[in-house]
């Protein structure tokens, strides 16, 4: 197997595109069609501060490539940014994977949040999202994929995902985040049609991350990667073989594929991680990029023949720079595309990853024929016709007078000066007897002619300078044409910052007004209570509505006080007081009509004095129905409280970044049924401002009471 892999940089129809979609690494890519690729997420780096920046944008790349008659590759790409709708704002994706199925792109891998060098997952189980690509409106419509699985699948990143021929999607390996890093050697088999996920654990090979996989049929091929040891340090996967192969029908048995001696002698073919692997044809795999055992950046592509177990180094010719964390995709059986990743910067020891790589490279693979193929082709070729046989008598040349030694003199040698058009014509007709011998040119010593030549040369140089100036002006105009897009983005960010600042100012004013109103209302209540007490000195502190025949809302803790009784008979009053003091006696009569859980829950609710008082006022025939309604209201209120707590969990990351105590205070706040009921009706974008407003009101109220 002999290959030649030629790479050419793809040109941009709009130079100066800002931001550069390829200036990133650890991103995800998915191939929508043979000429369209979707890019999402990853990390870029600020040029000045050298700080990592999380990317949440989605891009659509269209590739145009062709082969010229002289066998040279020509390629260009066009980028379009997609507008994200219903995008999950919490966290960000890195080292994730993407698979395109029709017009949907599935994103596999958990979003992460980080603060003060600590990193955690947004969700506690494996996360699958998807978005629909609309190429007409240039939009991406996001949604969460709720899959069904018998058991919880742990969250992860730095895994690998591949699409099978039957439509199933297989995710392999990966690792966790945090202080105790763990690598996985499991499979997640996802069916995009039924949204069912199967989790297969304890695969018969080393747990790993930052590796590459490929699939053919139901066979899975695994190469390279990192493995976290007991000391929580990364170790390069060192295997005497190149690829681990296992079948999806029996994943607990694997086969180690060993290649030829050329691959065994070169460690870059065996040991690398954070690299890319793609099929070139049905039996040839191309691997490129990544890092070696010294953390040095490499590119050096290899071609592996799965059937013949032959490995060939295809690093000849013009190649892209070394990269890690980039993307390598196969457009067809002979064309590859490479972009993104970190590029190497030369140091004293090795090439160390520094800034993200830019640009797109398109590679064309040329398979050279083997000796057997050449022999077979020569045997199948038609034989050439035999040349005509000329009689020997016709091949004899007649003797000429110019032949030596009879020739009296030799012809004058013509100098090697460049002749004019007429001289060329005369030279071609020299054999004619009417043409005289051409004398050497003497006009090159003419000063006037030399001056004219110098003037023409100067004019040519001036024209070249004008062409260079025009080219620079065209480049500057192209950048100015592309600049408005960057200006629009800057203006949008400025407007966003201005609106957010104005919103914060308005929110502060509203909060201050609410505090003032609350203080005024409390003063009015105090004055009203004092006036009421002054006008009605004999009236008790609280009254009970005798006409209330429905159970109260969710029970809350109330301060005990002297409650007035409506005029009733002595026996009825005595029995109601007994029911209030000993609610278990009245509930015991209903025990046979309730199951065990309902009875125990009803006893807890009757412990509340207000609930017990309402229960005591009822007739015996209405108590069972009243208890059922009380239980229904309590369960509904608990469901609302649980939903409010779940919404607080979704706001945990952003609230923890601002104040680590806000999260715990918010959880205690929404345990109140009234607040929880109002909280679940708030729009999702306003959850955190609403919580902060309520927390501030609660804090102001407590300070006012003090």
The average pLDDT across 417-425 equals: 44
Whether the pLDDT of residue 673 is over 90: the answer is: no
For the ranges 40-49, 130-139, 550-559, 610-619, which has the lowest average pLDDT? 550-559
Rounded mean pLDDT of 146-159?
Answer: 93
The answer to whether 389 and 358 are in contact (CB under 8 A) is no
**Residue with more model confidence, 428 or 152:** 152
> Per-residue pLDDT averaged across 303-312, rounded?
83
Q: What are the sequence ranges of the domains in the chain?
A: 2-372, 498-543, 545-554+568-637, 651-706
- pTM recorded for the entire structure: 0.55
Q: How much is the pLDDT for 289? A: 84
Least confident window among 75-89, 148-162, 258-272: 258-272
User: Where is pLDDT greater, at 153 or 604?
Assistant: 153
Q: Residue 344's pLDDT is what?
A: 60
Return the half-sphere exposure (C-beta side, CA atoms, 13 A cut-off) of residue 533: 9
Report residue 93's pLDDT band, with 50, 70 and 90 as the boundaries: very high
Interacting residues of 350 by C-beta distance below 8 A, sequence separation 6+: 292, 294, 295, 296, 297
Of the two residues 384 and 52, the one the predictor is more confident about is: 52
What pLDDT, on a 0 to 100 scale, did the predictor assign at position 561? Answer: 39
How would residue 421 be classed by pLDDT, with cut points 50, 70 and 90? Answer: very low
Mean pLDDT rounded to a whole number for the chain: 75
Quote the pLDDT of residue 262: 58
pLDDT band at 133 (very low <50, low <70, confident <90, very high): very high
What pLDDT score was predicted for residue 414?
A: 47
Q: With bands split at pLDDT 50, 70 and 90, how would you rate the model's confidence at 17?
A: low
Percent of the chain having pLDDT more than 90?
20
562-567 average pLDDT score: 40
Half-sphere exposure for 418 (CA within 13 Å, toward CB): 2
Q: pLDDT at residue 490 above 70? A: no
Predicted confidence (pLDDT) at residue 287 exceeds the cutoff of 70: yes
Q: Is the pLDDT of residue 110 over 80?
A: yes
Q: Which residue has the higher pLDDT, 359 or 163?
A: 163
pLDDT at 551 over 60: no
**Topology of the domain covering 2-372:** Neuraminidase (2.120.10)
For 310-324, what is the mean pLDDT? 72
| Residues 539, 541: Cα–Cα separation, whole Å | 7
The set of long-range contacts for 136-139, using a CB threshold of 8 Å and a minimum separation of 24, is 137/83, 138/60, 138/80, 138/81, 138/82, 138/83, 139/82, 139/83, 139/84, 139/85
């Amino acid at each position: 197997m002999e290959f030649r892999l030629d790479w050419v940089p793809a040109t941009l129809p709009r130079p100066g595109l800002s931001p550069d979609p390829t200036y990133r690494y650890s991103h995800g890519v998915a191939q929508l069609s043979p000429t369209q690729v979707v890019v999402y997420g990853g990390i870029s780096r600020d040029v000045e501060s050298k700080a990592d920046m999380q990317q949440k944008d989605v891009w659509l790349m269209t590739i145009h490539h062709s082969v010229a008659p002289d066998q040279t590759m020509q390629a260009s790409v066009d980028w379009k940014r997609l507008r994200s709708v219903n995008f999950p704002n919490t966290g960000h994706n890195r080292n994730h994977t993407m698979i395109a199925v029709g017009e949907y792109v599935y994103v596999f891998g958990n979003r992460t949040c980080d603060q003060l060098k600590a990193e955690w997952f947004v969700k506690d189980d494996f996360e699958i999202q998807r978005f629909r690509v609309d190429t007409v409106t240039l939009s991406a419509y996001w949604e969460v994929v709720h899959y069904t699985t018998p058991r919880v699948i742990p969250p992860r990143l730095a895994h690998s995902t591949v699409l099978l021929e039957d439509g199933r999607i297989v995710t392999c390996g990966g690792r966790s985040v945090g202080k105790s890093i763990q690598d996985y050697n499991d499979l997640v088999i996802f069916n995009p049609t039924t949204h069912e996920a199967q989790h297969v654990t304890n695969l018969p090979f080393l747990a790993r991350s930052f590796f590459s996989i490929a699939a053919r049929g139901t066979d899975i091929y695994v190469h390279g990667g990192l493995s976290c040891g007991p000391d929580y340090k990364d170790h390069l996967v060192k295997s005497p073989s190149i690829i681990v192969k296992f079948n999806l029908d029996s994943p607990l048995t694997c086969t180690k594929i060993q290649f030829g001696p050329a691959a065994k002698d070169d460690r870059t073919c065996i040991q690398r991680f954070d690299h890319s692997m793609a099929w070139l044809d049905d039996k040839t795999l191309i691997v490129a990029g990544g890092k070696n055992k010294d953390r040095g950046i490499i590119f050096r592509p290899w071609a592996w023949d799965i059937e013949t177990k032959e490995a060939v180094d295809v690093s000849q010719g013009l190649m892209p720079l070394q990269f890690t964390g980039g993307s390598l995709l196969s457009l067809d059986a002979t064309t590859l595309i490479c972009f993104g990743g970190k590029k190497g910067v030369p140091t004293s020891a090795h090439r160390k990853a520094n800034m993200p790589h830019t640009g797109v490279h398109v590679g064309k693979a040329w398979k050279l024929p083997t000796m057997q193929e050449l022999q077979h082709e020569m045997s199948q070729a038609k034989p050439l016709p035999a040349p005509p046989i000329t009689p020997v008598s016709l091949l004899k040349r007649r003797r000429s007078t110019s032949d030596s030694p009879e020739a009296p003199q030799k012809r004058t040698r013509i100098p090697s000066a460049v002749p004019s058009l007429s001289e060329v014509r005369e030279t071609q007709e020299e054999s004619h007897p009417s043409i005289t011998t051409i004398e050497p040119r003497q006009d090159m010593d003419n000063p006037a002619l030399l001056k004219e030549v110098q003037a023409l040369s100067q004019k040519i140089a001036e024209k070249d300078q004008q062409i260079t100036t025009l080219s620079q002006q065209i480049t500057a105009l192209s950048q100015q044409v592309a600049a408005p897009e960057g200006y629009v983005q800057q203006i949008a960010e400025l407007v966003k910052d201005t609106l957010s600042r104005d919103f914060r100012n308005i929110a502060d004013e509203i909060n201050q007004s609410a505090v003032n109103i609350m203080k005024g209302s409390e003063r009015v209540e105090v004055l009203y209570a004092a006036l009421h007490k002054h006008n009605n000195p004999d009236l008790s502190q609280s009254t009970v509505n005798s006409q209330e025949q429905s159970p109260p809302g969710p029970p809350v803790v109330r301060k005990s006080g002297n409650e007035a009784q409506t005029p009733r008979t002595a026996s009825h009053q005595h029995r109601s007081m007994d029911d209030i003091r000993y609610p278990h006696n009245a509930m015991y009569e209903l025990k046979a009509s309730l199951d065990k859980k309902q009875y125990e829950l009803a006893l807890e609710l009757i412990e509340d004095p207000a609930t017990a008082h309402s229960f005591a006022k009822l007739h015996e025939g209405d108590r069972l129905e009243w208890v059922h309604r009380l239980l229904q209201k309590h369960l509904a209120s608990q469901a609302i409280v649980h939903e409010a707590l779940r919404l607080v969990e979704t706001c945990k990351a952003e609230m923890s970044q601002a104040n680590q105590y806000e999260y715990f205070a918010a959880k205690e706040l929404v345990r109140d049924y009234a607040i929880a009921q109002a909280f679940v009706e708030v729009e999702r974008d306003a959850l955190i401002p609403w919580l902060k407003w309520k927390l501030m009101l609660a804090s102001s109220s407590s300070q006012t009471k003090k």
